[in-house]
Amino acid sequence: MDRALADARQAPGISGPGILYGTTLRVYDPRSDLWHITWIDPLRQDYDRMTGRKVGDDIVQEYRMEDGTRCQWLFTEITASSFHWIRRESKGSGEAWNVRVEFFLRRRMTESHA
């Protein structure tokens, strides 16, 4: 499992195979009750298109890689100040998963939000 910095701005000059820079665009489709999502890393020229939906208390975003591998981004343990983010893959039909990246993130409070 890889671990990476969630905020590379705090560590200037860090680069390498485990560092990602990107942005996400999410558009909600009320007819199908799901989100159409595009994640873009302009430095690596990497683009992932996925769908997302609420499953219980979690948010699950999913897509398939070119080789058919099923990928999920899971957002769990969501609170007003933190969440747990997991990226996992399944080569089969989702019975066995391999966690690729895991983050435990918390919101940085500013004076205006404290």
Instruction: Indicate the pLDDT class of residue 18, thresholds 50, 70 and 90.
Output: low
Q: In 1-114, where does DSSP find H-type helix?
A: none
| pLDDT number for residue 4 | 41
Whole-angstrom distance, CA of residue 19 vs CA of residue 7 = 10
| pLDDT number for residue 70 | 94
- Residue 52 neighbours by CB distance under 10 Å: 20
- pLDDT over 50 (residue 1): no
Whole-angstrom distance, CA of residue 47 vs CA of residue 28 = 19
